[in-house]
Chain A
């Protein structure tokens, strides 16, 4: 029996489906809005595994306490084909850098398998009429009442362009990351961040936007960047560019003496095995200075000196991916790779119950900021999505049950917002300014990728914001080039583009303000982490001129911050916080050493 409570969920990836399932299970109704059929959400791309929360004992009665058992047991019972032990139980593995985490996985497509399990469960609830799916609908805006309380949302049917108001007792945002702001990224084409940007423009706080994770080795494509496992470097891959800029010869025709193995030259002790973040920065910098292969943003990752049989045995699956999308066989032709924008640690500000600052609005998954701080560890994204969904669901139910509101309050609210959105559509359709929206998107992607990813300089960040303002102005002059409005992609894209530009400014100005280096945010002019001034969460609030920034202290009562230190025994430094233990300042070299081995940070899993 339904209780009459209705909760709208925007996004049908892991977080959205996890929340939908929990709400349906509790007897309430869900409207599930997704731009694509939910089974096709970006969560399918996660290949690595799912880490469990551990050491949660003693942290008080937090929702995280039983997460391990709930998540693993739950997915196991849903029928996810996890790898098994001899006895037929779930098999767990450990990965480098995650000594205390257990990683379960299903083949090389854990994200896909987890998403499918939730998709199946939600389909079951769909049959029971608890969940109504609106697939092929895109959220445009929230419906807020006079008290800035969320009462539902407006979404657009992507075939008919019909606008519809969804009344809801609470709304959960689960729309994933904003990778498309950078033009090409490892994200799916649906990952625009558009709906989250709409929330931000209506008063939702956006936190830590400047923390954008860049994966060191992705395969540059004209359409997107595809992930290449770091294990290629681990197995002996050598990174190089031709010494002569723009050398057009085939890589095999370039003799050893005319190749620049820049990692080996700059870091003789560790060469190509420098840790992730350093590899990322160096590759990026080399290309930024014009040394990239063919003058483009790419360097060679060369495995051809290793016998083909060895490569097939050790790296077969990942080399197949490269061959499938590039056409070259990496056993004989050096791969071309470049760092790729991969994950946003920032997102909608939420509290421990996944509540945003707008009453009635919740967020979960990559679109919320709360889990990964300034950088994310491998195999943590899946668990954070499921966790966020599992917490947001009861939190939204609790809110919906207890909120008091009068009947007449919503008079005209939905119609007014529908009208506002219809006007925006009309404006976009009738504009005749001559700007091409896809070219604008490319321009934005380029300026963001060049200046607001791996290496950040204040003058360039400032110039980027100026450029974004210019693009924003030109965005108002787009002539959509589609006279057929049936299932047109031009109108939704023009709207997404505007919204992306708003978040692009949040990311850029957040990075400009943060004069330190922390996690994925690196400024050569401010290379150290500065806890005294910057152990803070960035909060951006929308205003028409520019985002307004404020900073919130980070709660460090449970784990005291310490220096990222790979020079000490790992167990000691990672296991327990060492309050008061002042670590000596260290050079980079020291950070790479771990018991005489190469650094295993992040391991070789892909996700």
Chain B
């Protein structure tokens, strides 16, 4: 890829993720976070909340599986044993100061509930100039539906979402890339290992990945114009920057040193001979002499007539014993 192209992509796409994560200008009314046990969305949600705090945005947290109100959340709506309509009402009451509501959505709710939730929140979100962030656990198997003909919840969500962020663990991405570079089968982790008794494969240190911390975000953003943007980003762990940090912390995955190690500095194209203590090169004179050497049977290759080419010219030596019957020259 040409360097100019990359730098253009970098400026453009970093601006985009910054806009999305800070929920500026309702860049994405409905963001879908697809996480898994190997890389939960919790750190990204925290990052959303941190940025919302910095830009003084109101945060409503609709909790389907969280008990405790996370830090920095303005309104916390617990949903246990509540009907969708009640939840929508509570949420509407919570966002008086017209703002945004990152919510967590568990992966196992009935589609009817899901649909009505989106339908009821969608319009009000538009009115109130709010953005909705929804979490979907990819690894929770989809439960059978009541209505077999309606689309299942995940396609509905991905269809409706304006941007979809799929989360990956950086160390796993590195391990998979390392395998790919060697043309090996990519390793799998956690549930995909299909090993008895293993739910999570994530361990602090995976062999060979060093101190690869952070989350890889695979972003698919759909613009109003219809053009889509696909990009891979890296979000460093929260411990590496202060909560008040304003500048963009997310980088492109391609810019990461671990993922895309810089080329060897020694890339002079003229210098393509192997290094050795022996002089393997030829001087000009030697090269000229080499070209002057006449190879054996050189003449035989210039056959004049048919059947002549390829004839072997052979001079009998004294030790050769010529036999009329067998040998024919």
- Asked whether A and B interact, the reply is no
Give B residues with C-beta under 8 Å from A: none
Give A residues with C-beta under 8 Å from B: none
